[in-house]
Structure 1
Amino acid sequence: MSRFFAAGSSDSESGSSDEELYTESESGEDSEQEGSESEEGSADEDSEDEGSGEGSESSDDNAGGFLKSSAKGGASRFLRGEESEESEEDESKRVVKSAKDKRLDEIDATIRTIDNGKKINDWSLISNEFDKLNKLISKGNQSTAAPKSYIIAVAELEDFMNETIKSEKEAKKKMNATNARALNSIKQRIKKNNRQYEDLIAKYRADPATFETDAESTPEPAAPTTAPLKLRTADYGAAITAARSEDVQAAEGEFATIGRDGRAVTITAESVLKQLRAITEARGKKSTDKLEQIRTLEKMFEVSATIYQKIRVLLILIATRFDLNVATTGFIPIPQWKSAQEEIISLLHILEDNPLYIVQEDVEEPTEIEDEPVPVNGEPLKIFGSVVSLVERLDDEFTRALQNIDPHTPEYIERLKEETLLYSTIVRAQIYFERVNLELSISRVLLRRIELLYYKPDQLITLVEQLTWENMPKTLTSKITPYTPDETSLDLINAICVTLYAKDNGVFRARAMLCQIYHHALHNRYFRARDLLLMSHLQASIHTADVSTQILYNRTLVQVGLCAFREGMIAESQQALQEICGSSRSKELLAQGVQMQRYPQTTPEQEKLERQRQIPFHMHINLELLECVYQTSSMLLEIPFMAQSGNSPDAKKKTISKPFRRMLDFHERQVFTGPPENTRDHIMQAAKALATGDWMKARDLIRIIKIWDLIPETDKIKDMLGEKIQEEGLRTYLFTYAPFYETLSIAELAKMFDLTPRKATALVSKMISNNEIAAALDQKTSAIAFIPGVEYSRLQNLALAMADKAVQLIDSYKYR
């Protein structure tokens, strides 16, 4: 009985332990059933062993049976716990997949989504998933072929699209607007996309079963390992190094570049156009490494095997170099600018040696990547691109560099020396455009050429032309501007301007005319400059022109005024300079700086634009010289006019130069005036001396101004100023003291102002003929006879003024 009870107790205990385990366990029903069966088997074995045992050992067996059963029950419980912990650890370990496997899984999932979209005819969904599918394909290595599942999917999608379009036409049904737009969009994209896989798609359509069988028999990637999530740094580095070495070895015999993911990007002559398209699409994106693109394009140019490839690569390479400057106020590095200039010359050299290849703007950009066009039957092949835009950008970057470099440093001089390279590039581009007869490009490059010449003296232009044509290939020549050793700058600029005048573009004509006028004025051809300016009628329409053209107009007008001053035409000079120098914004109007104001009225954006328009320092017109010329001309006109006005209140309101009159009034109100310290002080004191008749003091004060040394032929200018001061001193004297004379000897008058009698007689005769003074010349006595009673007193002038105002009041009251 004890044995029976022992067995029963063991069974009951094991059962109870099993029940406890079942209640405490977190596993499923299947694991519970397996556990109960294993426990029942162990209990039967125990009973059989006890039944076959000896009777003398029954008590021991009873105790032993209890211990055994309890021990076994306990052991199974603990063992079960260890097994469950191990299984939980196995389940907790993540499965690590390679990027390729993940991409394939995403591709399969996207294809299934496209199939679902086809079932419900949802073309918006299909369009989005098709874009996603192509992005997943493009993420793979370029050397890796597209999966066959992708080929099958795009082939079936194209067939389904054609069927849908056909069924719509037959049934004359219309989709909703969103679905129809998505269908039209994918219709255009899928045809362009499937051109890349024409052979594989044709193979699939020829025998779909065999193609799918080949796809299924393709060896699957290795099973994912259950490696730990974290790798040691040394192991990770070793793995990357091994991957890179394998990729480089795989590309043995070809140029290989290591990408960001550590894989080799192979550049071959066959893949140049395809990779060129990828680089073009990546331009402008924030994540694009421009320097890496430039290095890749340089190596692609070395690998290029055909003329077409070299031209396409150079066009993209030069434009990518200019992309390095994204800011409007900066400039590309100087080495990159030099490289771009050399590459433009290389491009022009290739086009000159291969006349059947023409780079032109009005050509459709090729959509094919692998297909390389070639000239057929001697017809020139037109390639999409713009050489003149590259030349213009080269010029713009050179100007920006000069704007941002301190002009008082040797760096500015070194940079300015490279202007000869820029000019030679422009001339060579002009010759190429003449050969291929690109009219618009010819006009644009001619305008750039004249804008590099118009402000230079004749000697410098001749030297630059000589150096340019000496370094030019002997086979190149220009029909518009043929070079001859005895050619002058006047002939060269006239040839360029005549060509631009014949064009329809009004901006080109206006800028060319202003450049030619500036050049005439710079070389003291005042009358030609004046006549050309008046015939152009630019002063009537310049306010509608762009800002850069207005700046050029202001510079031209100022140069015409300086030319008139150098020629001794004081009135014409003052009139030309009045508009610019009469305002306080001459620096901004000439684009030579920004005026610092205590309370600025411009916004930061406007100020930024102002700084972008600044011209380089070597093109500046000296503002101090400009002010000196304007104030001196105003003095020579204003002082005699003030003396002529006398005490008339109406005459005092009339002024020739308001800025000069304000400065003169301020100077006269000062209690104490010391010796002159600057240009303005010299002119003000000279004006006061001239007004009192002390012309010698006025002449000396004007001559010792140091700024005159900046004008060529300084001594000639000073002598001219001395003569003008003598003449205006005589006129001022007559206007001031005529009422006190009845007659005045011409010889005495000429002696007072150190003039010849002939010159004095001419001046007096001119004043009499212009009704400036009431007098007559007595030729017998060589004297001036003044006519009394013409000059009014101060009281008479005031009475006349009051009478005029009364008449105005009566008229205004009458019309009310």
Structure 2
Amino acid sequence: MSRFFRSNSDSESESDSSDNDSFYDEDVLSSSEEEESDVEADQEDQQASKKSRFLKGGDSDSDLDSDDEGGRKRQVKSQKDKRLEDMQSAAKAIENGRKNNDWTLISSEFDKLSTSISKATTGFDKIAFPKFYIKTLIELDELIQETTQKDKASKKKVNPANGKAMNATKLKVKKISKQYESMIEQYKKDPEEFMKEEEEPTPEPVKPKAEKKVTIDVPAATAGDDGFTSVGKGGKAAEVDDKPILVRLREVLESRGKKNTDREEQANILESLYAKSKSPFQKISVLLALIASRFDLTIGSTSHMDIKTWKSVEKEVNLMLSIMENESSFIVCEDAEDLDNDDKDVAPAAGEVVKLRGSIIGYVERLDDEFIKSLQATDPHTPDYIDRLRDEPSLYALLVRAQAYFEKTALQESISRVIVRRLDHLYYKPEQVIRSIEKVAKEMLPAGLESKVIVADEPSQLIHELCAYLYKQNVSMLRTRAMLCHIFHFALHNQFHKARDMLLMSHLQESIHQADVATQILYNRAVVQIGLSAFRQGLIKESHACLQEIQGTGRAKELLAQGIQQNRYGQQQSSPELEQLERQRQLPFHMHINLELLECVFLTSSMLLEIPGQAQAGPNNKKFISRPFRRLLDFNERQAFAGPPENTRDHIMSAAKALASGEWERARDYILAIKVWDLLPDTEAIKSMLVRKIQEEGLRTYLFTYASYYSTLGVSQLSSMFDLPSHTIASIVSKMIWNEELAASLDQVSQCVVLHQVESSRLQELALQFSEKAANLVDQNERLATPPNRNEKAQQQHQQQQN
């Protein structure tokens, strides 16, 4: 040590020496002699100021100058003494709260005491464990039990805040007491002897089985075969413990949801715990936590679960169901109370049933939702979509298996919820597909697993039983969805009259606007499917009436949840939250109804109704049956140059103009040239039906147009013109005469139609004029109410601002 760092007088610093070591020895000797003199001297001696004030116990300038009024110096306490004083003051406050029955004070002070002890007994500068904390725990536990018994006996209303604080303190005391079980037992054996050892250093509290921590410093025999230790996240040495499985499981569950918790690491730990589990209780408990931890990996409503994770969850739910199928003494249900087993295994006695809190139906529904999300996020025109769709039979088999388990355990609410999910996977499929998916699902299920509620094998009977079960439930939403699925299934299999009658008798069209969005989408799909069913059976008028409700709005894509409608110029932009909700409601691609086919069916039906009606009413009539069709036709007629048809609309407009001029053969060729008819089942039968309808409506259009130019028309001539049998011609003409659409009579002897030239009376002419004026007034009002006018004004204003 250099002599220039010594705190000596000037005479000492001027002393000369030739050896530096001699100076060092003299410095050490002088400093030791000086310290001894300071200890022996009185505390008021000023020589203590020579000691550096930055060292522990040294005086500072402020200590010398800041005296109290009584002349005493301020007492300086160490960090250890401050901690002990804070803990003792918290313990005294708890004791005061016990006397006053103030549980709010007890709860807050107990939190402070526990936090202080946790900080003081850990770290580098940790202190001996204060044993009065054990005494406080035991006294609080006894007070909680006494208070609970008194409240039950007196049956008085407890202060809500005070009761809430007591319950919170009860849980904290119970949780912390598990960590100090050995100390609590020692205190209960001999409290006085236990508290005498307060001053002696005590080790940290340990749990029943101490952890075996492996670090780098241990020898190779302890660290592992190769002498290395596994290092976890953050560079810390991984801990290998021999704790009981349920204790380790509780620790993992307590860390769930906390900040900086590695969810994947939690899932891996639970996987290893399941591998070590032996009893059914341990396996079920670990599986419940493992499935929940896998669901935690997917954050947010927009992202979908990874396919690998999804298959792992599906496998684990099947494992849990198989365990409970073999062990009937355990039941997992949502209304079960928390099991207080003190982290010990549960082995129920013969005939005893142990209920565990969990929701199998929640896991199954979440799996189904994640499956739909993954289909929504996958491009349907790639092989990935087909590969993902191959997982549907295994998911359906899981639904059937869960339903059988719910029937066995009499969980009625879960049965109805899982049946709705089964119905959602089946109602839109043809019978052949339903039969195949049922067959594959039975092969995946264990032998002997059968449902007592649903016993049908035939697809139509299966749908009927699923819907009939839901009709008996008290929840109106389940009954409504079951009814709509049943209607859709009937319409899909060409049972139009059954589907229509069910829809009309249910009166859903009166209350569907009050239902949730998913049910409204299902209603729209059912109505559209009824319209397609009517068209396939040749019921053109009924088909148009059903499709007019959806297709006439111009928002069929949005109403059927098959896409998001693009906002036009001038309309209010929707918020990102609403757009996100719309995207989440979209149906997977394999459930879509082809929109081009839907438009083709609607426009064809409109053509077969509108063209004869227009010919009957005359050229100046402004009445219409189908507004969208009339707009397209007017737009097509205003075109300066009409080229050959390119798309579906062009084909139908060209066919309509040919039909209006009496050229039914050209109209037939245009209609049959549309390729979208190949998407319908039994295409040839539908095309032959269309040809027959075009011939019949062509005949009606011809009679309406040219009746004023003829006095008689031969039935054979009409038969050759429209390629229809004579009895069909006679039937059509008779129906027109009966409906007073044609002023004529049918002479069956001469096989001719006698046309009557009837002039309108004055009253009839005035009535026609009045009807035309009323129609014009209605048309003008509708034009003023339509939003395109506002869009045009906004567009003009925008152009003026730019100019």
Q: What TM-score results when the alignment is normalised by the length of structure 2?
A: 0.78
Map of 2:505 onto structure 1: 535
Structure 1 CA distance, aligned partners of 2:157 and 2:712?
108
What is the DSSP-based 3-state SS (H/G/I as helix, E as strand, rest coil) of the residue aligned with 1:734?
helix
- Is contact 1:110-1:129 (8 Å) kept? no
2:110 is the alignment partner of 1:130: yes
The CA deviation string for residues 64-102 of structure 1, in whole angstroms up to 9 with x for no partner, is xxxxxxxxxxxxxxxx99x968x968899xxxxxxxxx9
In the alignment, is the contact (CA less than 8 A) between 1:774 and 1:786 conserved in 2?
yes
Return 435-444 or 398-407, whichever deviates more. 435-444
Name the SS for the 1:452 alignment partner.
helix
**In the TM superposition, what are the counterparts of 1:535-614 in structure 2 within 5 Å?**
535-599=505-569, 601-614=573-586
Task: Give me the whole-angstrom Cα distance separating, in 2, the residues matched to 1:161 and 1:803.
Answer: 88
- Alignment match, 1:362: 335
SS at 1:712 equivalent: coil
1:387 Cα deviation from its structure 2 partner = 0.8
Call closer, same or farther: CA 1:728–1:109 in 2, change over 3 Å.
Answer: farther
Separation (CA, whole Å) in 2 of partners of 1:105 and 1:372: 44
> 2:524, 2:626 → 1: CA distance?
19
For 1:13 and 1:385, how far apart are their aligned partners in 2? 84
Q: Judging changes above 3 Å, is the alpha-carbon distance between structure 1 residues 35 and 470 closer, same or farther for their aligned structure 2 residues?
A: closer
- Residue equivalent to 2:477: 507
Aligned twin of 2:770: 801
1:552 CA displacement: 0.9
* Aligned CA distance change for structure 1 residues 414 and 191 (closer, same or farther; 3 Å): closer
Structure 1 counterpart of 2:470, one-letter code: L
> CA offsets per residue over residues 496-555 of structure 1, 9 Å max, x none?
112121222221121122112212211212222222222222111111111111111111
Identity percentage over the alignment?
A: 48
The secondary structure found in structure 2 opposite 1:376 is coil
1:215 positional shift = 4.8
Q: Hey, what does 1:284 align to over in structure 2?
A: 257
Distance change in 2, residues 1:104/1:543 (3 Å): farther
Q: How does 1:68-87 map to 2 (within 5 A)?
A: none
- Does residue 262 of structure 1 match 2:236? yes
* CA pair 295-794 structure 1, distance change in 2 beyond 3 A: farther
Give the aligned residue type for 1:583: T
1:462 and 2:411 equivalent?
no
Cα distance in structure 2, aligned partners of 1:174 and 1:435? 42
730 and 287 in structure 1: CA distance in 2 versus 1, 3 angstrom threshold:
same
8 Å Cα contact 1:111/1:153 also seen in 2: no
Deviation at 1:692, TM superposition (A): 1.0
SS in 1 for 2:643: coil
**Does the C-alpha gap of structure 1 residues 147 and 112 become closer, same or farther in structure 2, counting only changes over 3 Å?**
closer
Q: Is the 8 A contact 1:454 1:519 kept in 2?
A: yes
Deviations 1:6-41 (A, max 9, x none): xxxxxx997999xxxxxxxxxxxxx9x969989xxx
State which of 209, 214, 221 in structure 1 corresponds to 2:192: 209
Quote the residue 1:111 is aligned against: 87
User: Alignment partner of 1:242: what SS?
Assistant: coil
Residues 612, 697 of structure 2: 8 Å contact kept: yes
Q: Does the aligned pair in 2 maintain the 1:243–1:262 contact within 8 Å? A: no
Distance 1:179 1:219, change over 3 A: closer
Aligned counterparts of 1:791 and 1:692: Cα–Cα separation in 2: 25
On the 8 A contact 1:548/1:613 being kept in 2, the answer is yes
Distance in 1 (CA, whole Å) between partners of 2:716 and 2:748 is 12
After the TM superposition, which residues 325-336 of structure 1 pair with which residues of structure 2 at under 5 Å, given as runs? Answer: 325-336=298-309
| Alpha-carbon distance in structure 2 between the residues aligned to 1:430 and 1:553 | 26
The CA RMSD over aligned residues, in Å, is 4.2
Aligned to 2:587: 615
**Superposed displacement of residue 257, structure 1:** 9.3
Residue 216 of structure 2 aligns to a residue whose secondary structure is helix
d(CA) in 2 for partners of 1:608, 1:250: 52
Q: Secondary structure at the match of 2:90?
A: helix
1:703 to 672, 689, 704: 672
Partner Cα distance (1:168, 1:319) in 2? 37
Match of 2:703 among 731, 734, 740: 734
Q: Please state if 1:656 is matched with 2:625.
A: yes
Deviation of the 1:321 alpha carbon: 0.8
- Structure 1 stretch 536-545 or stretch 272-281: which is displaced more? 272-281
Structure with greater Cα Rg: 1
Change (3 A) 1:276 1:800: same
Q: Structure 1 residue 154 and structure 2 residue 137: aligned?
A: yes
Residues 259-658 of structure 1: matches in 2 within 5 Å?
Answer: 262=236, 264-266=238-240, 268=242, 271-482=244-455, 487-599=457-569, 601-647=573-619, 649=621, 652=622, 654-658=623-627
On the 8 A contact 2:216/2:223 being kept in 1, the answer is: no
Structure 1 contact 565–629 (Cα < 8 Å) conserved: yes
Amino acid of the structure 1 residue aligned with 2:715: I
Name the TM-score, length of structure 1 as normaliser: 0.77
Task: Say if 1:590 and 1:372 are closer, same or farther in 2 by CA, change over 3 A.
Answer: same
Would the alpha carbon gap of residues 361 and 724 (structure 1) be closer, same or farther in structure 2, given more than 3 Å must change?
same
Structure 1 pair 210–382 and aligned structure 2 pair: CA distance change class (3 A):
same
> Equivalent residues in 2 for 1:231-270 (5 A)?
242=216, 249=223, 262=236, 264-266=238-240, 268=242
In the alignment, is the contact (CA less than 8 A) between 1:267 and 1:303 conserved in 2?
Answer: no
Q: Which runs of 5+ in 2 are unaligned?
A: 1-8, 15-30, 39-47, 59-77, 205-212, 778-803
CA-CA distance at 1:671 after TM superposition:
1.4
1:448 positional shift:
0.7
Matched residue type, 2:497: F
Note if 1:778 corresponds to 2:747: yes
